[in-house]
Amino acid sequence: MSSEQNKAQPEEVVVENEVEQQVDAIEAELEAAAEQAEPAAEEISVAELLERLSTAEQTVADQKDGVVRAKAEVENIRRRSAQEVEKARKFALEKFASELLPVIDNMEMALQHANREDEALASMIEGVELTLKTLIDAVKKFGIEVVAPQDQAFDPEKHQAMGMQEVEGVAPNTVVAVLQKGYELNGRLLRPAMVMISKAASVDTSA
């Protein structure tokens, strides 16, 4: 609309037309700005989705790691429990076995002091020997083993030294006599063997 036409119209109409034109221009600018902003909005949404996906994957990884750890802990508990059960099974007879040892000792002592030249005692001695053998065989089935280290090197883990003596031709710290047998239960010492051990020969300094 020309300036002459504007002059011909009332002043209020002219102002109203100018306002409408300004509003149309602002709306056009807003639409253009919105069109330019849409790709940015799409980019932000994709970024957010990627971030959420990454977070979800990390959560799944953490949960998987927790499951693996829990499974490993369960296996450890199961293994320890099995070991404890096996240990209890192996050594459940420890107290009972310890009570049997004096019985074996007394039978062996009786045989050592028995008069084997007396024919009247022959059958009794034979019976005691058979009973002792049966008893020892029975306890062996449950893991009880004799510790009788005659002529072996002294082992403080299994032997109890009751004395020392010089023995010609025998190396020092060798068991030269077993005063009382020792016993083990499945590898665990029930009672040490009481022994005498050799010592180094004395050096004669009088010459």
Q: Are residues 97 and 191 in the same domain?
A: yes
Q: How many domains does the chain have?
A: 2
| Spatial separation of the C-alpha atoms in residues 136 and 97, rounded to whole Å | 11
Q: Which domain holds residue 55?
A: 3-89
Which of 40, 67, 89 lies at the terminal end of a domain, its last residue?
89
**What does the pLDDT profile of the chain (207 residues) look like in tens digits?**
544 444 445 555 555 666 667 666 666 666 666 565 555 445 557 777 777 777 877 887 778 888 888 888 888 888 888 888 877 777 778 888 888 899 999 999 998 888 888 888 888 999 999 999 999 999 898 889 999 899 999 999 999 999 998 888 888 899 999 999 999 998 889 999 999 999 877 765 555
Q: Are residues 101 and 85 in the same domain?
A: no
**154 and 76, same structural domain?**
no
Same structural domain for residues 21 and 58?
yes
Claim to verify: residue 21 and residue 57 sit in the same structural domain: yes
Location of structure tokens 């084997």: 116
pTM of the model: 0.55
Closest CA to 142 of 89, 102, 182, 202: 89
Q: Is residue 204 part of a domain?
A: no
- The predicted pLDDT at position 43 comes to 54
Give the C-alpha separation, 116 to 118, whole Å. Answer: 5
Q: Mark whether 7 and 83 lie in a shared domain.
A: yes
Asked if residue 170 and residue 80 are part of one domain, the reply reads no
Looking at the structure, tell me whether residues 124 and 83 fall in a common domain.
no
For the domain that residue 134 is a member of, what is the CATH number? 2.30.22.10
Q: What is the pLDDT of residue 27?
A: 64
Q: Are residues 110 and 48 in the same domain?
A: no
